[in-house]
Amino acid sequence: MRTEDCLRELARHRTDEVVIAAMTSAMVWPMLSDHPRDLIYVPSTMGGAPALGLGLALARPDRRVIVLNGDGSMLMNLGSLVTIGEQAPPNLLLIVFDNGIYAVTGGQATPGAGRVEFAAMASGAGWPRVHRFADLPAWSVAVPSLLAVPGPVFVQLTVAPEPGSISAPPAPMSERLARFRAALDA
């Protein structure tokens, strides 16, 4: 599967959920969505998106929060799986794109590439709903139910490695944050 194809399926079914896109997904998501509740987290701190998503999910239980995270970023903050499992926000969906590389820093292999089972870690951390997909048809069928089921929901998507570079954010961060804050209050 390709990251873009997976995100395209998500965008097809997304309504008014908050979407936090970090790392590789932050390069692709703006091509598919320009929703005021999109937070394109560029420049981003590797590993920070799940904690940011948890904070938003707890602060705004009336809003569904989708976090788009990379495998390298997930490795940098595995503790967030335990914290989210403990807090159990019913409005959080965390999707980890497992491509086995640090795509935005040059394509270096991630530690344990091809062997790390993020889904098993999430399950062991107490997440009630954990899924893993390696083919696009199964992912496409599952997206609507994953957006509707109470969370927290963890999804590991096995995607093809596509080394790239950091793209320019869609607008200055101050403008994106002002738009995002206004949309959260709407």
Per-residue pLDDT reduced to its tens digit, 27-68: 888 889 999 999 886 666 778 899 999 999 999 999 999 999
**Termini Cα distance of the chain:** 35
Could you tell me whether strands 153-158 and 92-98 are parallel, antiparallel, or unpaired per DSSP bridges? parallel
Q: Tell which residue, 48, 58, 60, has the closest CA to residue 22.
A: 48
Q: What is the DSSP secondary structure assignment for residue 72, as one 8-state letter?
A: H
Q: Containing H/E element for 70?
A: strand 65-70
Report, as ranges of residue numbers, the positions in the chain whose pLDDT lies below 70.
41-44, 101-107, 163-173, 176
**Which of helix, strand or coil describes residue 77?**
coil
Q: How many domains does the chain have?
A: 1
- For CA atoms 127, 76, 162, 53, give the dihedral sign: positive
- Range of the structural domain that residue 136 is part of: 3-185
pTM of the model: 0.87
- Show the tokens assigned to 17: 């959920």
Give the type of residue at 112: G
pLDDT at 184: 80
**Which of helix, strand or coil describes residue 103?**
helix
Q: At what angle are helices 3-13 and 136-148 packed, to 10 degrees? A: 40
30: domain CATH number is: 3.40.50.970
